Structures are given as structure tokens and as C-alpha cells.
Structure 1
């Protein structure tokens, strides 16, 4: 049975991909992931407030060059800013303000750079890179395409789980049961199990996972 393509074009698990024609959009996914890895290593190894500001400047420059709307890349920065502030406050109390500033700004720079890469790269292209990276593990029995497909399915489940939980909570609130955990968890769990069964049946119909 012909399996067909394992991963159709897909913008991303949280809808962060923003189509564009900038040089960042046109760069190969592997190159962008390599840059992100090197950037992260340099940020971790470099020390001092100046290096942290330089890292943040590079991340901001990447955002400007990519021509991605700010709300696309800053969507996940609010919890990051809160986390950075808490970590920075602890580092200031435990060590000094220079370390606090460096740790907090480094964290924001890394998250912003990752958000820009996500906003300028389709998720299916990122999964293709992942499949190529794990290809050497084929010798120990790991199917790279199946591994990438599994990661893709997992990422696709994130927004579905969030939406299902919110819908179950709204339904419970409409019945006056918002304080009853069972009224929220049970319907959400039933819907997620049904989704898992449907996905499994669809994969089986395409012959995926068969010897």
C-alpha cells in the first residue's frame, strides 16, 4: 500500500508561522536551526551584561530583518519576561545585579531568536531537518520518518488539548459546575481519547507502522 507523504505542509503547532519573502524566510531550515544552536552556545558561554545586550541586539535585528509582525514573535514573550524577572530577582539576591541582568536578558534573547526562527520556517521543514539529523540512528532500528511524524503529531496535539480543555471548562461553567474537576477533566479526556483513536485509525488506513 502506498503511504504517500508523511507530513503535509504545516505552519506549526501554535500557528506562529508567518509567510514572507525576507532573507530569513528564504534561508534553509537547517541553516536557521544551526544558527540557533550556535547562537545558544555563544550566549551560554559568553559572560557579562555587555554580551547579554549584544545577544538581545542580534535577536532584535533578526526580528527586524525577518519583517515579521511583532505580535507574532512576542506572543510567547510575556511568560518569558515574567520568568526572566523572577530568575533575575533571585540572582540579584543570591549573587549580584550583573549576573541577574545577564541571565534575564540572555533568556529573553534566546526565546526571541527561537520565536523568529519558528515564525519564518514551516514546521514540516523543521521536521524534515529533524528526520535528517536522526537518520544515522536508522542502524539501531529507528525510522527517521516515523520519528519525525511522531514529533509532528505530538506538536499538533498541543493546541487541540488546549482548545478541548477550554471548551470543556466553558461547558462546565454553563452548567454551574466550573468548580467540579470531574466536569472538566472527564469530557476533555473522552474527547482526547476519541481524537487519538481517530488518528490511529487514519494512520493504520495508510499502512503506517506496519512491517
Structure 2
């Protein structure tokens, strides 16, 4: 029986998905400003009702952007696990109202960030980041290097998760899925090799300094 290959995990922020919705057509500055205002509201506005309303706004934006529900849920799985742990702790320490608020706030921010990345091409987002970081040039930080660092981070995180999955599958095929060495050592070696290859490529282009 042939085992079905699962698609690579792209992280809770997802990937850009072409579309013609109002959010796709909106300026990147407006979307980032909206995300910032939502983050401020999450921090400053307290209460379970407010947290649920803000979560509803984030989910509504995802529906408006026509982000696929299945892909969103798959990307949110690690966040949901984290939110469950935080919620259980807050429930124990401070009660159910605080637990619901904390979980809703965390999921709201992740879903909203996912909507922005799903409706904005990566090159446009990095160009906007480079322009916004322009004043940092006066303190010795090159904005283009900052944008490149963010691009590498966004590309590396899914690649690392995919590497971990491939290593786990290989260990399972050898019956070693319970052996930490069969999981950690190959993953560490492949991660270091990838980092060195990336560093060499950047240095060859004069971007290593």
C-alpha cells in the first residue's frame, strides 16, 4: 500500500494566495496599520466579550479574503496546542474568563497576521518593510539587510519543520521513532548544513558582512 505524502507545513502565517477580494486589493500600508491597531486593541481592551468580538473580526477578515478553511486550521494546529496549554494554566490560576480571553487573543493575532500574508505577495511586504526601516540607516542598519533577514526567516521556518517531518518519517521507517538520537542528530546535521549553505550563498553575493 502506497503511503500518501502529506503536503509541507507552511506555518501559521501561511502563504500568499492569489485573489481579487477587497483585502487583496487593499494597500499593504493599510493592512499593516489595521493589524497594528488590532494588536493594540487586543492588548488594551480587556474582557471576555471584547476578546471574542476581536476574534470574530479576525475570522471575518479571513472569510472575506477567502482563505481556505482547511489550510488555515492545519497551520493553526501548533498555535491551538499552545493556546490550550496557556488556557488550562490560566483556568487553574485565574478562572475560565481569563482562560478564554487569553486563548482568544492569541488566536486573533495569529489569524489576523495570516490574513495579511495570505493577501499580500511576499515581495510587496518586504518592500514595505524596507521602506519603513529606512530611518534605521542613520544608526548603521541597512534596511535591505533587515528585509532580507525577514525573508530568510519566513522561508527557513517551514523548511525546518519539513526537515523535522522527513527525519521523523525516516526514523519511523527504521523502527526508531522512539529513539531521540535518530530524530535529533539527523535533524541537527541537516539544519546546520542548510545554514552553512545559506551563509556561503550570501557571502558569495557580498551580503555576509
TM range (shorter): 0.7 to 0.9
| Distance in structure 2 (CA, Å) of the matches to 1:12 and 1:31 | 24
Aligned-pair CA distance for 1:119: 1.5
Aligned-pair CA distance for 1:66: 0.8
SS at 2:74 equivalent? coil
Comparing both chains, which one has the higher relative contact order based on Cα–Cα distances under 8 Å and sequence gaps of 6 or more? 1
Aligned-pair CA distance for 1:53: 2.4
RMSD in angstroms over aligned alpha carbons? 2.7
| Distance in structure 2 (CA, Å) of the matches to 1:180 and 1:47 | 45
- With normalisation by structure 1, the TM-score equals 0.79
| Distance in structure 2 (CA, Å) of the matches to 1:181 and 1:71 | 31
Tell me the residue number matched to 1:48. Answer: 47
Aligned-pair CA distance for 1:42: 0.9
Question: Are residues 1:120 and 2:114 paired?
Answer: no
| Distance in structure 2 (CA, Å) of the matches to 1:94 and 1:169 | 36
Alignment map for 1:1-211 (pairs within 5 Å):
16-209=15-208
Aligned-pair CA distance for 1:14: 6.9
Structure 2, unmatched stretches of 5+, are 1-9
| Distance in structure 2 (CA, Å) of the matches to 1:95 and 1:181 | 36
Aligned-pair CA distance for 1:150: 1.8
| Distance in structure 1 (CA, Å) of the matches to 2:81 and 2:143 | 37
Q: 1:128 to 1:13 in 2, by over 3 A?
A: farther
Q: 1:190 to 1:105 in 2, by over 3 A?
A: closer
Count matched residues.
200
The higher radius of gyration belongs to 1
Q: 1:77 to 1:182 in 2, by over 3 A?
A: closer
- With normalisation by structure 2, the TM-score equals 0.80
Query: Are the counterparts in 1 of residues 28 and 120 from structure 2 also a CA contact under 8 Å?
Result: yes
Structure 1, unmatched stretches of 5+, are 1-10
Q: 1:189 to 1:207 in 2, by over 3 A?
A: same
Which piece of structure 1 moves more, 34-43 or 115-124?
115-124
Aligned-pair CA distance for 1:145: 0.3
